[in-house]
A and B are shown apart, each in its own frame.
Chain A
Amino acid sequence: GESVGLHLPTLSVQEGDNSIINCAYSNSASDYFIWYKQESGKGPQFIIDIRSNMDKRQGQRVTVLLNKTVKHLSLQIAATQPGDSAVYFCAETRGTSYDKVIFGPGTSLSVIP
């Protein structure tokens, strides 16, 4: 069946270092892969997405890499800051219109000052 999952449940990073959060997916039919950030007491917040025909996409301090050969997605955060501490979810959807988003279980990122 469809599933999106993460390799590591927790990640601790020193402030200023780069963070890499990984995700494995099983549904090759996904059209978009998305990263969300969820802070305590808040709903998920869109960070960046990547279309399935792309390998890399960059945003502000974030880069998403997609390796379709091994069905692997990663989120790189440059110069990690305390405000980056949150749970990060990879997710997938089909079609151009995000009909429904299927989330993975999440990785908790802790930034050590």
Chain B
Amino acid sequence: DTGVSQDPRHKITKRGQNVTFRCDPISEHNRLYWYRQTLGQGPEFLTYFQNEAQLEKSRLLSDRFSAERPKGSFSTLEIQRTEQGDSAMYLCASSLALAGGTYEQYFGPGTRLTVT
């Protein structure tokens, strides 16, 4: 257990429905990342926050995807009008960014989304 938790662990939804995932990072970590991983592939970066500010978004993050971190603690990732191609594992990671040094990212167990 890395200390990063994600909820739910599994989600099955029908195409066209909206889904929301939650990530609780390690409490003192100021950075939070979202990745998507499909079977047999490495995780792909989606977006990241430093505190409550969303600093970068991947081109993979279409208009149907939105992420928030309103108080700089937990984060939510919402997918609107889900499509079958959204089926994947959604991973959250957190890290402590300080001036200088390297910042290891600690990953949560992921939320597996299946769109039927």
Using CB atoms and an 8 Å cutoff, list the residues of chain A in contact with chain B: 32, 41-46, 49, 89, 91, 96-106
Q: Which of B44, B97, B107 contacts A44 (CB 8 A)?
A: B107
**Please, which residues of chain A bring their CB within 8 A of the CB of B44?**
103
Q: Is the interface of B mostly helix, strand, loop or mixed?
A: loop
**1/0 contact string of B90-106 vs chain A (CB within 8 Å):** 01010101001111111
Interface size range of chain B in the complex = 20 to 34
**Please, which residues of chain A bring their CB within 8 A of the CB of B104?**
46, 49, 98
Contact B103 A105 (CB under 8 A): no
Contact B102 A49 (CB under 8 A): yes
**Please, which residues of chain B bring their CB within 8 A of the CB of A49?**
102, 104
- Rounded to whole angstroms, the CA-CA distance of A21 and B114 in the bound complex is 31
**Please, which residues of chain B bring their CB within 8 A of the CB of A97?**
97, 102-103
**Please, which residues of chain B bring their CB within 8 A of the CB of A44?**
43, 91, 107
**Please, which residues of chain A bring their CB within 8 A of the CB of B2?**
43, 45
Min CB distance A89 to B, Å, is 5
What are the 9 closest A-B residue pairs judged by CB atoms, nearest first? Answer: A103-B42, A43-B107, A100-B45, A98-B103, A89-B42, A46-B104, A44-B107, A103-B43, A43-B91
Contacts A44-B43, A91-B42 known; list 11 others, CB within 8 Å.
Answer: A42-B110, A44-B107, A46-B104, A46-B105, A96-B101, A97-B102, A97-B103, A101-B35, A105-B41, A105-B42, A106-B41
**Please, which residues of chain A bring their CB within 8 A of the CB of B35?**
101
**Please, which residues of chain A bring their CB within 8 A of the CB of B55?**
99
**Please, which residues of chain B bring their CB within 8 A of the CB of A89?**
42-43
**Please, which residues of chain A bring their CB within 8 A of the CB of B101?**
96
Most buried by B among A43, A44, A99: A43
**Please, which residues of chain A bring their CB within 8 A of the CB of B102?**
32, 49, 96-98
> Which residue on A lies nearest to B100, using beta carbons?
A96
> Which residue on B lies nearest to A46, using beta carbons?
B104
Q: Say yes or no for B33: interface residue by CB 8 A criterion.
A: yes
- Rounded to whole angstroms, the CA-CA distance of A100 and B100 in the bound complex is 16
Q: Which of B41, B56, B100, B109 contacts A43 (CB 8 A)?
A: B109
